[in-house]
Every structure is written in C-alpha cells, then in structure tokens.
Amino acid sequence: MRILLADDHGLVRDTIAMFLESAGMTEVVTVDNVDEAIAATDRSGSFDLVLLDYNMPGMDGLSGLARLREANDGRPVAILSGTASPAIATEAIAAGAAGFVPKTLGAKSMVSAIRFMAAGEVFVPFEFMQQSEARTVANLTERETEVLRGLCEGKSNKEIARDLDLQEVTIKLHVKTLCRKLDARNRTQAAMIARDRKLI
C-alpha cells in the first residue's frame, strides 16, 4: 500500500512513516508542505491514501484538501491533526476527506484506520466526535442555569417559579439577565443559544 504523508513537524512525520513501513506499507513518501505533496503525486502517480496535516504551510483551511484530492485522482485524502475540533472534522468530511485522524490515536489503531480509508470508507474516531465541543460557558450563576434549564423545556415564568419555589418576578429578572449574558433578544432565542452552546 502506497501512502503519502504530509506534515511539517519533522519528528512526527518521520516516526509515523517509520511505523507505517514497519507495519507493512510498501511505500511511504513524506513531504512537509502542500505544494511538495502535489509534486509528489505528479512525480510518482496517485497514492492509495494521502495524509494531510491540518496545520501546515499551504493548507489554507480545507482548500489544500481540495487541491490534493484533485492531484490524487480522486483517491482517498485524509486529514491529520493534533488540535482540530470535531466541527472541523465534520467540515473536512463534508469537503470530501476520506477521514480524520487525530494525533492522539494509538499507532496500531492508526494503521487500521489507514487500511480502512484506503478501502474507500470514511473514518472518524467515535470518541473524538463525542467531545462536547468547548461548551463555551457564559459565566452564569447557579440560579441562572436553573432558570435556563426551565427555559429550554419551554416552561413559562410561572412554572419555573413554582418549580424553583420562587416568585414569578424573580424569574423574569433572571430571564432578562440571561438574555443579556447570552446576547439574546428573548427567551426563545436564549433557549436556542443555550442548546447550541450546550450549556443546559
């Protein structure tokens, strides 16, 4: 199996390459930027799999991915990254990546993943995607989060007041401060924002 590995961190690149060769990959070509990667495909034909570091000279977000996909004649191109988020992984897949390999993956697992992607399947580690995406907590007090929970359940101020054993006016107050903190214009938008940012 012929692999092209593009990563600008020399140490990472070389150790991965050595491991892949010892795992039985017939040829592992390494480069340290996108342009060289394209040159490599021109020189020696398309690879069974191309691994691209997400943070690398010339990548420019996902446009480097598109260029390599074209250069590799539509055969699988995957993204490799130590830092990227699940959202970026999803974008990459949507943009046609064959998979997403976080550098936290174990070496043996990486080999299996590479075989998997070379077979034409899409690979993304499950536990990586389950990461709950930063959860940008907006400095809410305990009361406010309780009220926000009620909002997200579509309750009225009166109901929330009853549930928390408070007065309705108090809930109104909290809702107002919640709207200010979350930059929402009303309770509905506050609830939607809360769900988006997963701070329920």
Return residues touching a copy of itself (CB under 8 A). Answer: 93, 99, 105-106, 108-109, 111-113, 115-116, 119-127, 129, 151-154, 156, 184-193, 195
Q: Which residues of 93-132 are buried (b: 16+ CB within 10 A; e: fewer)?
A: beeebbbbbbeebeeeebbebbbbbbeeeebbbeebeeee
Outline where DSSP puts E strands in the chain: 2-6, 27-31, 49-53, 77-81, 99-102
CA separation (Å) from 116 to 19, 73, 110, 119, 130?
A: 17, 19, 10, 5, 20
Pick 59 or 175: Cβ nearer DNA: 175
Pick 11 or 120: Cβ nearer a copy of itself: 120
Pick 108 or 195: Cβ nearer DNA: 195
Q: How far apart are CA 194 and CA 200, in angstroms?
A: 6
Q: How far apart are CA 26 and CA 142, in angstroms?
A: 58
Q: How far is the CB of 46 from a copy of itself (least distance, A)?
A: 19
Residue numbers at the binding site for DNA (CB under 7 A):
141-144, 156-158, 164, 166-170, 172-176, 179, 185-188
Q: Considering CB distances under 5 to 8 angstroms, the limit depending on partner class, which of DNA, a copy of itself, none binds residue 169?
A: DNA
**Separation of CA 108 from chain center:** 22
Q: How far is the CB of 89 from a copy of itself (least distance, A)?
A: 9
Pick 127 or 142: Cβ nearer DNA: 142
Pick 112 or 156: Cβ nearer DNA: 156
Q: How far is the CB of 177 from DNA (least distance, A)?
A: 8
Q: Considering CB distances under 5 to 8 angstroms, the limit depending on partner class, which of DNA, a copy of itself, none binds residue 123?
A: a copy of itself
